[in-house]
Amino acid sequence: MGAWSRPVRAETLQAVQAHQRVCGSQRQAAQAAGVPRSTLRHWNRRQGEGELSPEVMAFFDTPAGVDLL
């Protein structure tokens, strides 16, 4: 898949994180969601960058955060 739209990325990231809490494996969670692991690592790394706190960045990567934007 090429570029991920913000709403799709937010929903997918939320699903991957939920799956990872259950299975404990980032690799399995990414595979179950159909996301390349390198893409998932990029999304997670992006949350820690920027001028906003990691918590705020994480919020804006959720479906509710995308809707707010």
pLDDT in tens, 58-69: 888 888 888 988
User: Structural domain of residue 61, as residue ranges?
Assistant: 6-68
pLDDT for the residue numbered 36: 92
Residue 40 in any domain: the answer is yes
- Report how far residue 69's alpha carbon sits from residue 67's, in angstroms, rounded to the nearest whole number: 5
What tokens were used for 55? Answer: 């918590």
pLDDT for the residue numbered 6: 84
45 class by beta-carbon count within 10 Å (0-12 exposed, 13-18 middle, 19+ buried): exposed
Instruction: Please count the structural domains in the chain.
Output: 1
Residue 1 in any domain: the answer is no
The verdict on pTM exceeding 0.85 is no
pLDDT band with cut points at 50, 70 and 90 for residue 40: confident
Residue 58 in any domain: the answer is yes
Mean pLDDT of 33-47: 85
What tokens were used for 14? Answer: 């939320």
Among 66, 19, 12, residue whose Cα is nearest residue 40? 12
Report how far apart the first and last C-alpha atoms of the chain are (Å, whole number): 24
